[in-house]
Amino acid sequence: MNIVVNGNSIDVPRACNIVQLLEQLDLDGRHVAVELNRAILPHEDHASRLLEDNDSLEIVTFVGGG
Protein backbone atom coordinates (compact mmCIF):
# COMPACT_ATOMS: atom_id res chain seq x y z
CA MET A 1 0.00 0.00 0.00
CA ASN A 2 0.97 3.60 -0.48
CA ILE A 3 1.69 6.27 2.10
CA VAL A 4 3.18 9.74 1.77
CA VAL A 5 6.28 10.57 3.81
CA ASN A 6 7.66 14.10 3.72
CA GLY A 7 5.90 14.66 0.43
CA ASN A 8 7.22 11.44 -1.19
CA SER A 9 4.99 8.54 -2.09
CA ILE A 10 6.30 5.33 -0.51
CA ASP A 11 5.25 1.71 -0.79
CA VAL A 12 5.00 -0.16 2.52
CA PRO A 13 3.72 -3.62 3.44
CA ARG A 14 0.27 -3.92 5.02
CA ALA A 15 0.12 -3.98 8.84
CA CYS A 16 3.34 -1.97 9.03
CA ASN A 17 3.75 0.09 12.19
CA ILE A 18 5.78 3.27 12.68
CA VAL A 19 8.74 1.49 14.25
CA GLN A 20 8.96 -0.76 11.20
CA LEU A 21 8.56 2.19 8.84
CA LEU A 22 11.45 4.04 10.53
CA GLU A 23 13.56 0.88 10.22
CA GLN A 24 12.69 0.60 6.53
CA LEU A 25 13.75 4.24 6.07
CA ASP A 26 16.94 3.65 8.10
CA LEU A 27 16.03 6.35 10.64
CA ASP A 28 16.83 6.36 14.35
CA GLY A 29 13.50 6.60 16.17
CA ARG A 30 15.01 8.52 19.09
CA HIS A 31 16.12 11.35 16.82
CA VAL A 32 12.83 12.01 15.06
CA ALA A 33 9.32 13.24 15.66
CA VAL A 34 6.47 11.83 13.61
CA GLU A 35 3.36 13.65 12.57
CA LEU A 36 0.60 11.43 11.19
CA ASN A 37 -2.14 13.15 9.21
CA ARG A 38 -1.21 16.47 10.85
CA ALA A 39 -1.29 15.17 14.44
CA ILE A 40 1.86 14.35 16.41
CA LEU A 41 2.19 10.66 17.10
CA PRO A 42 4.02 10.28 20.45
CA HIS A 43 6.97 7.89 20.53
CA GLU A 44 5.15 5.54 22.90
CA ASP A 45 2.52 4.95 20.18
CA HIS A 46 4.98 4.15 17.38
CA ALA A 47 4.79 0.41 17.88
CA SER A 48 1.02 0.17 18.21
CA ARG A 49 -0.07 2.42 15.35
CA LEU A 50 -0.49 0.53 12.11
CA LEU A 51 -0.22 2.50 8.90
CA GLU A 52 -3.21 2.74 6.61
CA ASP A 53 -3.40 3.31 2.90
CA ASN A 54 -2.88 6.98 1.96
CA ASP A 55 -1.64 7.97 5.42
CA SER A 56 0.40 11.14 5.24
CA LEU A 57 3.42 11.53 7.51
CA GLU A 58 5.97 14.14 8.34
CA ILE A 59 9.17 12.82 9.89
CA VAL A 60 11.44 15.54 11.24
CA THR A 61 14.70 15.75 13.12
CA PHE A 62 17.06 18.42 14.49
CA VAL A 63 19.49 20.11 12.14
CA GLY A 64 21.92 22.95 12.72
CA GLY A 65 20.18 26.25 13.34
CA GLY A 66 20.42 29.53 15.18
Partner 1 sequence: MTTPLETSSQVTSEDPLRIGSFVLESRLIVGSGRYQDVQVMSESLELSGSDCVTVAVRRERLHDRDGENLLDHIDPERFVLLPNTAGCYSAEDAVRVARLGREILRSLGNAGADWVKLEVLGDTRTLLPDPVATLEATELLVNDGFQVLCYTSDDPVMAQRLKQAGAVAVMPAGSPIGSGQGILNPNNIRICLEYLKQDDPDYPVIVDAGVGTASDVAFAMELGVDGVLLNTAIAHARDPLAMAMAMRKAVEAGRLAFLAGRIPRRLYATASSPEDGVIATHPFPRKGK
Instruction: Choose between 6 and 48: whose C-beta lies nearer to partner 1.
Output: 6
Stretch (H or E) spanning 40: strand 39-41
Nearer to partner 1, 40 or 47 (CB): 40
| Beta carbon of residue 65, minimum distance to partner 1 (angstroms, whole number) | 3
> What distance in Å separates the CA atoms of residue 29 and residue 66, rounded to the nearest whole number?
24
Binding to partner 1, residues 3-62 (CB under 8 A) = 5-8, 10, 25-35, 40, 42-43, 58-62
Centre a 10 Å sphere on the Cβ of residue 42 and count the other Cβ atoms it contains.
9
Q: Please, what sign has the CA dihedral across residues 23, 24, 27, 32?
A: negative
Q: What residue ranges bind partner 1 (CB under 8 A)? A: 5-8, 10, 25-35, 40, 42-43, 58-66
